[in-house]
Amino acid sequence: MSRDKKTACLEDLRRRILTQRIAPGSDLDEATLCEEYGLSRTPLREIFQRLAGEGYARIEQNRGAKVSSMDLATMRVFFQTAPLIYCNVARQAAENHLPAQLDQLHKIQEEFRAANAEGDAEAASFLNHGFHQQMGLMARNPYLLVALNRMLIDHTRLSQTFYRPSSEDGTRRVESSVAQHDAMLEAMARRDGDSMVTLTMDHWNLTRDQLERYVMPDPLPLGSELVEMGA
């Protein structure tokens, strides 16, 4: 089986999961995907194993593969843990990066800026994913990198609406996100770990309330609505 064919399938499934075109908790149906990608079951199962190892999916005995869920328990841990991981990665990236790695981060940022200017929400979310993934490589800490990559899967899935602003405030937040990346690059160049931690917390706080809307998208019922529900 062609490695390129398998790689294309793997990359496409990652993208579909991150954009929620394949919803969290959904079955990954072997027969359908074999036909869609022109693969036999053996290489597709190898791809499922790879996705499971990376945190995109889970494999259940006698039930096949499913996309990793985003239930309330998972999201609670995500919001508790994300700032800890991001801040530690940011500090170590500032202190440990190689010059060539910083050059690559600049390239990703220019593409991120262009995608936002063009209103390409899907590209912007992927390039933001790539920006923070590159920071993980720059930290040169294999333990943090594993945690970061898993965290970014859920963060990117949650952030799909952030890059599709429906208000002036939303547009300003996206613009601020681009500017914060620029500030991070400057702090990286100075190898200023303290500034990177501060900038990372500002960056997290900029998007946190938008991400939380995935978990609680509607106001809780009040007053007469609670009575009608038997509260």
3-state secondary structure the chain: CCHHHHHHHHHHHHHHHHCCCCCCCCEECHHHHHHHHCCCHHHHHHHHHHHHHHCCEEEECCCEEEECCCCHHHHHHHHHHHHHHHHHHHHHHHHHCCHHHHHHHHHHHHHHHHHHHCCCHHHHHHHHHHHHHHHHHHHCCHHHHHHHHHHHHHHHHHCCCCCCCCCHHHHHHHHHHHHHHHHHHHHHHHCCHHHHHHHHHHHHHHHHHHHHHHHCCCCCCCCHHHHHCCC
Average pLDDT, the chain: 90
Taking only the tens place, the pLDDT of each residue in 129-142 is 999 999 999 999 99
Residue 107, pLDDT above cutoff 60? yes
Taking only the tens place, the pLDDT of each residue in 156-170 is 999 988 999 989 999
pTM: 0.87
Per cent of the chain over pLDDT 90 is 81
